[in-house]
Chains A and B, each alone.
Chain A
Amino acid sequence: MEAFLHQVLSGLATGGVYASLALALVMIYQSTNHINFAQGEMAMFSTYLAWNMINAGLPYWGAFALTIAISFVAGVVIERVIIRPVENAPVLSVVTVFVALLVIFNSIAGWIYTYTIKTFPSPFPEQPLFGNRYISSHELGAIGVTLTVLVVLYVFFRFTPLGLAMRAAAQNATSSRLVGIRVGWMLALGWGLAAAVGAVAGMLVAPIIYLEPNMMSGVLLYAFAAALVGGIDNPFGAVFGGFIVGILENLIGAYVIGTELKLTVALVLIICVLLVKPTGLFGKVFATRV
């Protein structure tokens, strides 16, 4: 029983990792209707920038804030310069641009920082909460931060005029222009926010899984799965999906089939969920007009 509880809590911790990146994926989807394959690599790169700053002597929170700011600006620039030319291109071309970005960021990070793992500090205390052995303070803190970001984003998109404008721009660019929304800048803003959320994800995740250029490659699939299984247009769904994926992954690996077929089981699960709920557990069902 104890082992079971342990697996669940451990799964919650890894789930937090997936959830934070899934949130960035949902962010970008809500503001641009695209899934950014390069999100993980951008987050990794932001984390390296933070690492550079901390090594140079900046205090943790200073580096944290500065990295978020830089990532935001970088996200805006990337959208305006690199994504803008393919804004109206078919989906597959846009996906290819994301693949290109992924490859570029990964390669440059490897070139500048080499592939040895680096430690990234955590702002949370070293001692586990209540001295428990199941989940570290950082892992708990990371989940807390992710949930906070989630709430902030939800409030932003639902209750602020800017958030509304961004959602409108993503869903119906033409009509949005007609009501005076600067669609181009809304998209750029969306990218900036997603990059910032990604940077937070990276900095939360790095102390757990160690910083190296391929850090996010494994996480991306699970974050992708979490976002989609939870419902790509629903940030709560994505975060919830992340925890589900983390816990299930652990339980399946430990009790059902062993780690040797974990991925196949994950595949089957994903398909099963999508068969029953094709737009994810909490996604909206779209009715199309004929």
Chain B
Amino acid sequence: MDSRGMLATCLLALLLTAIPAVAQKKYDVGATDTEIKIGQTMPYSGPASAYGTIGRAEAAYFQMINDLGGINGRKITLISLDDGYSPPKTVEQIRRLVEQDQVLMIYQSLGTPSNTAIQRYLNAQKVPQVFVATGATKWGDPKNYPWTIGWQPSYHAESLIYAKYLLQTKPEAKIAVLYQNDDYGKDYLNSLRAGLSAKSKSILKEVSYEVTDASVDSQIVTLQASGADTFFIFATPKFAAQAIRKTYDIGWHPLQFVNNVSNSVGTVLQPAGPEKAEGLISSFYLKEPTDPQWLKDKGYKDWVEWMKKYYSQGDLADLGNVYGYTVAQTLVQVLQQCGDDLTRENIMRQAANLKNLELPMLLPGVKLNTSATDFYPLEQMQLARFDGKRWVLFGEVLSGR
């Protein structure tokens, strides 16, 4: 090669190395060298305000990340707005976040009706709707809604696990169901029916309640009168506690199941009376914070330390704070995987690229997995039985597919 050729080659080589270095930093609106802006709506007021703690926990987690230097040198700014669990308000707040605050993505907006209201808009605007905070089955639909991805095991997956277990251990069960009269409760009920398939006739009686009801005592009496020997409680914590207590008090001792949202020892079983909940079965994917078996666990101890330092007004017995912590960690992982390419497209690509991710407060054996065709990050749960003091895990980690 003559000297000119050498020079040309060297220049070319230099150019080739330089271009990628410059082209590596790609931003969409909301991302800069120093900041990543994220938007969220949460029900801080109204009938679902108990879930507001999730938003606060997530904000507290990002605060800790920022204190430790941020992600690739960028601080996370979480703008979390109250929508009062009212879909028109959700639409308003999300439009504000996207059009006025110019956030990079919408993260963990809570509520099925709320997310339904904004799904089409966000997909049309090509704004990531990441890790929606609801277990409704419809969020994992990459073909029609490529910008929307769920996080927690869907209610469908959970009900399937219960159905499978029942078909294996008690196929002649006579079933009664108490469910909350909204998308949440109905999703569980319909999925249970689907999971039982041929045996769906075994559901003798299904009774609903409204969030505005004072108590569910009457419903429990009706369900007992149906003669069922298996009882599913698909309720939120307050009503689950009432149901468990009343079932015991009236002398009805069916095989009882309670759904994942309402199985906390501290906030549901203690108020109900732990002796009244003995034999209760539920499913888990997170470590329950009031369960004494995790006291020496490193993941749990880190969580408590974080709570005490960054979210001291949060309730150490509230599973919502474990949930928020873990979802926040998932987002941090996604953002780290994005590196310097903080385009909305890459966010979705990385969110769909989680392989066997293990997080400290997930049950051992439960891992996050996503792909271009699998928009359900968590599908595994493990069954546990309450022995009067704590939840005893049994069986294997099951998949709710």
Contacts and interface: CB of A to CB of B under 8 A. Distances in A.
Q: Does chain A touch chain B in the assembled complex, meaning CB atoms less than 8 Å apart?
A: yes
Interface of A: 3, 6-7, 10-11, 13-14, 17-18, 107, 110, 114-119, 128, 133-134, 136, 208-210, 212-214, 217-219, 221-222, 249-250, 253-254, 258-260, 262-263
Contacts of B222: 3, 7, 253-254
B45 A210 contact: no
A215 to B, nearest CB: 8
Contacts of B250: 6, 133-134
Chain B CB within 10 Å, residue with most, of A136, A208, A210, A219: A210
Nearest to A9: B221
B217 A10 contact: yes
A186 B52 CA distance: 42
A3 B225 contact: yes
B53 A208 contact: no
A213 B249 contact: no
A116 B214 contact: no
Contacts of B318: 114, 116
B241 A218 contact: no
B207 A212 contact: no
Interface in B299-347: 313-315, 317-318
Contacts of A128: 249
A214 B49 contact: yes
Nearest to B178: A259
A14 B238 contact: no
Given A114-B315, A250-B218, A253-B222, A107 B53 contact: no
A258 B317 CA distance: 35
B213 interface: yes
B238 A212 contact: yes
B241 A117 contact: yes
A206 B16 CA distance: 72
A7 B216 CA distance: 12
A115 B49 contact: yes
Contact of B218 (A110, A219, A249): A249
Given A3-B225, A107-B45, A209 B214 contact: yes
Nearest to B271: A119
A7 B50 contact: no
B200 interface: no
Given A7-B221, A213-B49, A14 B214 contact: yes
B238 A254 contact: no
Contacts of A3: 221-222, 224-225
A217 B218 contact: no
B102 interface: no
B210 interface: yes
A3 B205 CA distance: 15
B53 A114 contact: yes
Interface in B265-318: 267-268, 270-271, 313-315, 317-318
B242 interface: yes
A253 B49 contact: no
Given A210-B242, A260-B208, A116 B50 contact: yes
Contacts of B50: 115-116, 212
Nearest to A214: B47
A53 to B, nearest CB: 19
Nearest to A106: B45
Contacts of B213: 218
Given A209-B238, A259-B208, 20 more contacts: A6-B250, A7-B221, A14-B215, A14-B218, A17-B215, A110-B49, A114-B318, A115-B49, A115-B53, A116-B267, A117-B268, A118-B271, A134-B250, A136-B249, A210-B238, A217-B47, A249-B218, A253-B219, A259-B219, A263-B210
15 contacts: A3-B222, A3-B225, A11-B218, A13-B217, A17-B214, A110-B45, A117-B268, A117-B271, A119-B271, A136-B249, A210-B242, A212-B50, A222-B214, A253-B218, A259-B207
Nearest to B213: A218
Nearest to A119: B271
B56 to A, nearest CB: 9
A249 B181 CA distance: 17
B251 interface: yes
Nearest to A216: B214
B212 interface: yes
Contact of A115 (B52, B181, B219): B52
Nearest to A208: B215
A116 B317 CA distance: 9
Nearest to A263: B210
A136 B242 CA distance: 13
A221 B250 CA distance: 27
Interface in B189-240: 207-215, 217-219, 221-222, 224-225, 237-238
A63 B242 CA distance: 25
Contacts of B210: 218, 259, 262-263
Contacts of A253: 218-219, 222
Q: Which 5 A-B pairs have the closest CB atoms?
A: A115-B50, A3-B225, A250-B218, A218-B212, A133-B251
Contacts of B47: 214, 217
